[in-house]
Structure formats: C-alpha cells, structure tokens
Structure 1
Amino acid sequence: MYICICNALKESTVRQAARDCAPDTHVSDFYESMGVELQCGQCMCRALDLLDEESRSCQVA
C-alpha cells in the first residue's frame, strides 16, 4: 500500500526506513533518509505512526 503518493513511498519502504532511523529522528530527516522531501504533508501522520511502531518494536527486541 502507498503511504506517500507524492513520493511513491510504499509502506514497506517507510517501515524499513523507520527501522534504520534513530527513535528521535526529525520528520524532515526521516523523509530525507528515504531520498525524498516531504511534499503535501498528507502522509506525515501515517509515516510518523510507522516510525513510532518500528522504534517501539526495536526497543522490545
């Protein structure tokens, strides 16, 4: 499923980037780590939710 239409980012791509980022990563740095820039912002809440989910799962492991 696409999370970001502007940048054609799929959920799997966002989740992988979230696993690779530090938990306190700023949203602009998070998008930059995927090689894109935040555009319209419609995806930001979902992307941040995925970043939070993945960082929590890394802390448990």
Structure 2
Amino acid sequence: MVVCVCNALRERDVREVARNGAQSACQAYRALGCQAKCGQCVPFARAIIAEERAAA
C-alpha cells in the first residue's frame, strides 16, 4: 500500500525503517531520504510506526 503519494513511499518501507529504529514519522522520512510534503500521510506513518514498536 502507498503511504505517501508525494514521495512514493510504500507501507513496507515505513515498516522497515521503524523496525530499524525510526521512532517518529520525521525519523522515518529522513531514513528514507525524503520529507513529508503535504502532510496527509503523517498520521498513517505514525500508526505504522506505533504498530511496529508495539510488536517489537
């Protein structure tokens, strides 16, 4: 699933960086070499990161 249309980020990418230590949406975007543009994806990215942190 696409999380961020502006940066073409997929859910699997966000999950991977969350597993590798990203604790916020900003950290995840930086780890993926981009930044949020319109911001509509940030709540979804936060939810994905929270899921991954809870599962760890």
TM bracket (short chain): 0.7 to 0.9
Equivalent residue for 2:45?
A: 47
Residue identity (%): 38
Higher radius of gyration, 1 or 2: 1
Equivalent residue for 1:20?
A: 20
Q: Letter of the aligned partner of 1:27 in structure 2?
A: A
Aligned-CA RMSD value: 1.2
Structure 2 residue runs of 5 or longer lacking an equivalent are: none
By how many angstroms is 1:39 displaced? 0.7
User: SS in structure 1 opposite 2:19?
Assistant: helix
Q: Letter of the aligned partner of 2:13 in structure 1?
A: T
By how many angstroms is 1:53 displaced? 0.3
Q: Letter of the aligned partner of 1:4 in structure 2?
A: C
By how many angstroms is 1:26 displaced? 3.9
Q: Normalising by the residue count of structure 1, what TM-score does the alignment of the two structures yield?
A: 0.81
Deviation per residue, 1:1-51 (Å, 9 max, x gap): 1000000001111111111125xx343222101111111101000000000
Equivalent residue for 1:32?
A: 30
Equivalent residue for 1:2?
A: 2
Q: What count of residue pairs does the alignment treat as equivalent? A: 56
